Chain A
Amino acid sequence: MILPLAVVPEFVDAFRYVFVGGESVTGGLQVGGPALIPYLVNHLVLSFVSVAVAVLIAVPLGLYLGHTRRAEFLAVNITNAGRAIPPLALIGFFIAYIGVGFDAFGLVLVLLAIPPILTSTYVATTQIEPDTVDAARGMGLTEGQILRRVEFPLGLPTTFSGIRIATVAVVATATIAPFASVDTLGVPILSPNVHGPAGQLGAAVLVAILTLVISAGLGAVQQAITPRGLKTVAPERRRGLFATLRRRTQTT
């Protein structure tokens, strides 16, 4: 898909930067190629830690709010509020008041990741058939057991789609981490005077591919964690092209 671009001269340089590396524009510094690996590792660690923290906060909170049907307005609208604040503005704010570094920028990413996870978890929990929860309660499950054994597993696919969206946003946004002195794959993009236009383009392509791969990977995980009983839908309920396509991909 990307290979045909290799004939464009700019991309030839970009690919050479990513896969081979070379001397920096300013000279005396080895950039690109193997030198990108620490950036990549940093990028992934920063993204993973941020999403993990966001999940630990947003999933239990979303489950609780969904279970008790509290704060519906907050849970649903927090996403929009989150979108309205650009990460760049947050970073400016954080650098000014909290400081720079891994923790400070991680916090920005956590704040970015919470809204989609919170909303999807809330929606997942409230969309479960009321009869299922009523039956669970009527049989004597405690509220905690209803949350853990019924609402969480049934909402998991929807919750996970929120985690996937958040992860993609975090991986993409981690590119601007160098503003807060965290060296991620954004370094070549934000420092063209060192890495040159080839580095800028190469790193941008690399981040794009990384995002796509992670998104696809999480999509596969989402399939894998969807409870089997939710995938096995009675034949009469499957109709139309979309359902047919889905059935093909879901055949176990």
Chain B
Amino acid sequence: MNASDPAQTSTASPAGRQAATLELRDVVKLYPGQEEPAVDHLSLEVPAGEICVLVGPSGCGKTTAMRMVNRMVEITDGDILVGGQSVTDRTPYELRREIGYVIQQVGLFPHLTIADNIATVPKLLGWDRDRIAARVEELLQLVQLDPEQTRDRYPAQLSGGQRQRIGVARALATDPPLMLMDEPFGAIDPINRERLQNEFLRLQVELRKTIVFVTHDIDEAIKMGDRIAILKQGGRLAQYAEPAELLMNPADEFVKDFVGNDRALKRLALQRVRDIDLWQAPMVRKGETTASVRQKLEKADVKIPLLVDEDGCPIGWLSDRAYAGEEVKADLRSRAEPTVEMDDILRDALADLLGSELQYGVVVDEQGRATGVLSIELVGQGVHGVAPARTGADALAT
């Protein structure tokens, strides 16, 4: 595999670096003076460019496992390979400079400006000033902060969400092939957490980093992970699988308990409207002949005509009276609400459907044109159907 070529991870030029594979082989961490290991023979492989979430109750060793990757915690036994090369072959400092590191409390340097914070590792590596300035600008734009306004400010002047964005930008500074993130959004309020998660997933589609992401929140794990490793007390691996697999086939009682009784509902978060084979409604325009409407009705899945405007944007569901005469009149039984977007996750779409009178949702494309109809029945079939194939973070991208 290309990404596992050791030369890849040790090149001096960090621009556009390939993601590295990560492999934990029988890793053990036994703290001196303790009888039980914190991490017990943990083995897992993370393919290049994927997000691996380590999740479990507190004290399950997930953070310890993560910190062994950049040798913040030394391995007692076993080995960890980054891009095919053992982490123990390198000095901790060199190793860490090539691995992005984001922690819950961010840990920005309060005495340095945002620009200097982001430039930490580039400066350690001796980049010249112009290159650093350009990179800082690029990174601030990447995390959706205005470089002009942000560059010269200090961490204390930013909000929690902004600080965490800077934390991510700082970790990305040298375009590292691997990133470690320890509950990066844990200290942020739910609304901003959701935004940061979505933003990060969007970023990941472009960046395609290999990421180890630690959280105690199973919902966050399902949302962020391409693969999820559930750890139980004593640092033992309970299950390592893709989210859908984990929800459908939990390996044991512990996993079942940990993912919760609402596993089926959680699966709704894994699927998107575009994964569903939608129903077709007869789409009619004002002034169309009644005969053509009746013809369309026969072929359609939904037996109510949907009135659309010239562009094909939905207006509303027609009442029976609307096509009783020669031509279609704009006599609506209800407006075409809610509309559902192709990229909405099924959980959100279902919530919209439950709120509507007809329990049908008109699915619209990016231009707002109606492309089909989603019903509660279809959502139900979707949950029981085959888990949708998820390739990397693509399926999560919005």
Contact = CB atoms under 8 A, between A and B. Distances in A.
Interface string B76-105: 000000000000000011111110010111
Contacts of B351: none
Interface in B121-140: 121, 124
Contacts of B93: 140-142
A66 to B, nearest CB: 16
Interface string A123-136: 00000010111111
A233 interface: yes
B156 interface: yes
B380 interface: no
Interface SS majority for chain A: helix
Contacts of A131: 103-107
Interface residues of B, number: 32
21 contacts: A131-B103, A132-B107, A132-B110, A135-B103, A135-B106, A136-B109, A137-B72, A137-B96, A138-B96, A139-B101, A139-B124, A140-B92, A140-B94, A141-B120, A153-B111, A154-B110, A154-B111, A229-B109, A230-B110, A230-B111, A233-B156
Contacts of B48: none
Interface string A226-237: 011110111001
Contacts of B215: none
Contacts of A229: 109-113, 154-156
A145 interface: yes
Interface of B: 70, 72, 92-98, 101, 103-113, 120-121, 124, 154-157, 167, 170-171, 180
Contacts of B104: 131
Contacts of B94: 140
Contacts of B70: 138
Nearest to B114: A229
Given A229-B154, A229-B155, A136 B107 contact: yes
B185 to A, nearest CB: 15
A194 interface: no
Nearest to B170: A139
Nearest to B171: A139
A140 B106 contact: no
A228 B109 CA distance: 12
Interface in A203-252: 227-230, 232-234, 237
A150 interface: yes
Contact of B107 (A134, A230, A232): A134
Contacts of B157: 232, 234
Contacts of B107: 129, 131-136, 138
Contact of B108 (A132, A142, A228): A132
Cβ-closest 5 pairs across A and B: A135-B107, A227-B111, A140-B97, A229-B154, A140-B96
A29 to B, nearest CB: 55
Residue of A140, A141, A142, A154 contacting most chain B CB atoms (<10 Å): A140
Contact of B72 (A138, A141, A237): A138
A145 B124 contact: yes
Contacts of A132: 107-110
